[in-house]
Amino acid sequence: MSKGKWRLSNLYLIAVFVILYAPIFYLMFYSFNSGGAMRNFEGFTLEYYGEVFQDTRLLIIVLNTFIIALLSAAISTIIGVMGAIAIHYIRSNRPKGTLLTLNNVLIVSPDVIIGASFLILFTIAGVQLGFVSVLLSHIAFSIPIVVIMVLPKLQEMGGSLLDAARDLGASSWQVLTKVILPYIKPGIFAGFFMALTYSLDDFAVTFFVTGNGFSTLSVEIYSRARQGVSLSINALSTLIFLFTVLLVIGYYFINRRNSRPTGKEVRT
Amino acid sequence: MEARARNLYLVPYVLWIVLFVIAPILLIAYYSFFNVEGQFTFENYAKFFTPVYLRMTLSSFWYAFLITLFSLLVAYPTAYLLTKTKHKALWLLLIILPSWINLLLKAYAFIGLFGTYGFVNTILEVTGIGKKQILFTDFSFVFVSVYIFIPFMILPVYNALEKMNPTLIDAARDLGASPWMTFRRVVFPLTIDGVKAGCMAVFIPALSLFMITRLIAGNRVITLGTAIEQHFLVTQDWGMGATIAVFLIIAMAILMLLTGNRKRGLIDIVKR
């Protein structure tokens, strides 16, 4: 490849990166603007960060968002792992295929359809719209993601390991807790983490099933953004961005720590 | 013993499938046969085939097509160049990172960037082009949507490119193919599965966008998603909303069948 071409391709990549990151840094930059709008930077201020931390309503919403995310990720991980193990042990192809297809329905469905259909479901079932309905729907759309993350690990495991454990006299409970679960742990972590981020990120489904009294961060930002620009949203988004970066770094290290011991286990 | 344990694991999972996968779809279909007063009727379906709704469906597909096309046009070269960089994993992480930021915040950022006194308009003024109305136009809608979907297009294409055997390119070159010929006859056909996966990951959500249409396009663009949201949450005409949802589900199923079958066909060709 000639040198000029190389430079041009680098330029293209850099341009894509600049465009991808520009809006995020634009938001962060103006969160320090004392001018009060996303234009004409007048002076540095932390006023809006103070505003965020004094806004009890907003803080409660942030707390709600995290409670929903952690609870839904934990519950969906449990159900998802059970489902993945069950699917893995179904021997005949037909029911297995049906289950997998049904599993993927919620992954490929647009959020609007999930939200609308859950709204009908909760109304018919008499579930009050609010915390419970949001939690249930977050669990519901996270389960298939967990299954998808865990299944490949189960397939990778192979049968001989289980046969060995059983030959050595392990009960089914021991096989599960001492062999299967440790082996698929990276998949479980990945599934939990994906569920967490899907829940934190969700707007459309929550918007449908949230009702009047309860709100998550995405829904709150939407209703505030519709009223126009307010720099406390910028301050909040800066905080969220930093948190996201921390989360990604954390995930990266969890992944690395997990991949090492499993590698060792396979070898010995 | 084994079977009993398996069935025990299966119970909560199947319960989930019945309650949150099958029941919602059936309910959507059921509700599409009722009007606002709760009477059984086919009028929702009749209404869907009036010019108003057909035009909306058509424009929704058109915008989704444009968004997918532009995402692909930007994402393919990016993915290709990414595979050529030294620290691939790091670059890829950097590309994916913005997709982890809440969608709402990114849309909100564009309200600032594209606003009348925003950054883009300032640049336009300095360069002598002059102020333009950018926010609340078709352009801003497509641009922001493409911005949001690009990482979802880059990932599958990147994976497909990584899987490709690089010696095939050398072979093509040795046999005298020009770079364009190599791309058209070797690289692109071999990565078509990634392209398809990316297009599916973009096209279906693009059909059902509703938040961006409200925040960025200022209700100028009405997609199927916006219409469903409008019927369910604003006018409370659940029947009509469910009817539009039924058509969206059908469109989705057809798309998936089409791409799925083609993929199977490709595998057959490779096997042969």
For CA atoms B38, B43, B45, B50, the dihedral sign is negative
Q: Min CA distance, A249 vs chain B (Å)?
A: 10
Determine the pLDDT at residue B29. 93
Instruction: Locate the chain B residue with the closest alpha carbon to A147.
Output: B13
**Planar angle of CA B11, A207, B28, nearest 5 degrees:** 55
Give me the CATH topology for the region A56-267. MetI-like fold (1.10.3720)
Tokens of B198: 């990316």
Asked if B16's CB is within 8 angstroms of A221's CB, the reply is no
Structural contact between residues B131 and B122, judged by C-beta atoms closer than 8 angstroms: no
Residue closest to A85 by CA, chosen among A229, A13, A184, A169: A184
What pLDDT, on a 0 to 100 scale, did the predictor assign at position B19? 93
What pLDDT score was predicted for residue B132? 77
Write down the mean pLDDT value for chain B: 84
Window A:120-179, CB contacts with B under 8 Å: 120-121, 124, 137, 140, 143, 147, 172, 176
Distance from CA of B51 to the nearest CA of A (A): 23
Nearest to B74 by CA among B184, B164, B135, B154: B154
Select the CATH number that applies to the domain covering B32-99+135-271 from these four: 3.30.470.10, 1.10.599.10, 1.10.3720.10, 3.40.47.10.
1.10.3720.10
The ranges assigned to domains in chain A are 56-267
A191-200, A246-255, B147-156, B226-235: segment of lowest average pLDDT: A246-255
Q: What is the band of B88 on the pLDDT scale with cuts at 50, 70, 90? A: confident
* Partner residue opposite A12 with nearest CB, options B1, B77, B118: B77
Of how many residues is chain A composed?
268
Torsion sign (Cα): B9, B11, B12, B15? positive
Separation of alpha carbons B45 and B119, rounded Å: 46
> Which residue of B82, B85, B109 is in closest CB contact with A27?
B109
Nearest CA in chain B to A175: B2
Cβ proximity of B123 and B116 under 8 Å: no
Helices (H) and strands (E) counted in chain A, each on its own, are 12, 0
Burial of A218 per CB tally in 10 Å (0-12, 13-18, 19+): buried
Residues 6+ apart with CB under 8 A from A27: A38, A234, A237, A238, A241, B105, B108, B109, B112
The answer to whether the Cβ–Cβ distance between A229 and B204 falls below 8 Å is: no
Q: Which residue of A has its CA nearest to B22?
A: A102
Picking from A99, A180, A168, A96, the residue whose alpha carbon sits closest to that of residue B18 is A99
Give the closest of B102, B119, B242 to A240, CB-based.
B102
- Tens place of pLDDT per residue across chain A (268 aa): 455 666 788 888 889 988 899 888 888 888 888 877 777 777 888 888 888 888 888 889 999 999 999 999 999 999 999 999 988 888 888 888 888 888 888 888 888 999 999 999 999 999 889 999 999 999 999 999 999 889 988 888 877 888 888 888 888 888 888 888 999 998 898 899 889 888 988 899 999 999 888 889 889 888 888 887 788 888 888 888 888 788 778 777 766 665 544 333 333 2
Alpha-carbon gap, residue A74 to A77, rounded angstroms: 5
Q: Test B211 with A116 for CB contact under 8 angstroms.
A: no
Nearest CA in chain B to A120: B27
Q: Check CB contact under 8 Å for B27 and A117.
A: yes
Residues 6+ apart with CB under 8 A from A9: B81, B84
CA distance A180 to chain B (A): 13
What tens digit of pLDDT does each residue of B63-81 get?
Answer: 999 999 999 999 999 999 9
pLDDT tens-digit map of B168-214 = 888 888 888 888 888 888 888 889 889 988 898 899 888 888 888 88
Predicted TM-score (pTM) of this structure: 0.85
Tokens read off for B21: 């996968």
Chain A closest-CA separation from residue B143 CA (Å):
11
Shortest distance, CA A153 to any CA of chain B (angstroms): 17
